[in-house]
């Protein structure tokens, strides 16, 4: 993983941290929720068992978050997203923030990380709302 790819992934994960993004640690072959990110050391705490609080400290280069492709939006989500875009064109940058917050909360891959090999496609039902 290049430094540029690490930076892209770090920015994306930091924005999603409060939304419970699920990731796969490739080397140890474990899946869990990203609960903490240490930018200085390029590591992620991956909680692998919520009941016990067990976690793994994983290098950012070994993490692949599960994200939803933009094409996986349901009809209802498309309607909401469309409303955000209309609001954005009318009110500008303040609306941008709400749009990105909504995309992050619903785990959509608007940065095309799946395409770049930096994320995995979330299986249907992984993120239930």
In this predicted model, what pLDDT tens digit does every residue of 76-125 receive, in sequence order? 988 888 877 776 666 666 667 788 899 999 999 999 999 999 999 999 99
- pLDDT at residue number 93: 61
What is the mean pLDDT of the segment spanning 60-72?
Answer: 95
- pLDDT at residue number 81: 82
Parse the chain into domains and list their residue ranges: 3-121
Q: pLDDT (tens digit, 9 = 90+) per residue, 7-40?
A: 999 999 999 999 999 999 999 999 999 999 998 8
Sign for the CA dihedral angle at 44, 49, 52, 54 comes to negative
């Amino acid at each position: 993983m290049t430094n540029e790819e690490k930076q892209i992934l770090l920015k994306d994960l930091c924005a999603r941290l409060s939304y419970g993004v699920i990731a796969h640690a490739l080397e140890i072959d474990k899946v869990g929720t990203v609960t903490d990110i240490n930018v200085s050391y390029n590591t992620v705490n991956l909680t692998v068992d919520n009941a016990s609080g067990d976690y793994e400290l994983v290098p950012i280069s070994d993490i692949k978050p599960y994200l939803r492709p933009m094409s996986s939006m349901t009809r209802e989500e498309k309607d909401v997203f469309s409303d955000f875009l209309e609001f954005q064109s009318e009110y500008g940058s303040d609306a941008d923030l709400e749009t990105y917050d909504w995309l992050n909360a619903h785990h959509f891959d608007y940065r095309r990380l799946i395409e770049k090999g930096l994320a995995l496609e979330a299986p249907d039902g992984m993120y239930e709302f």
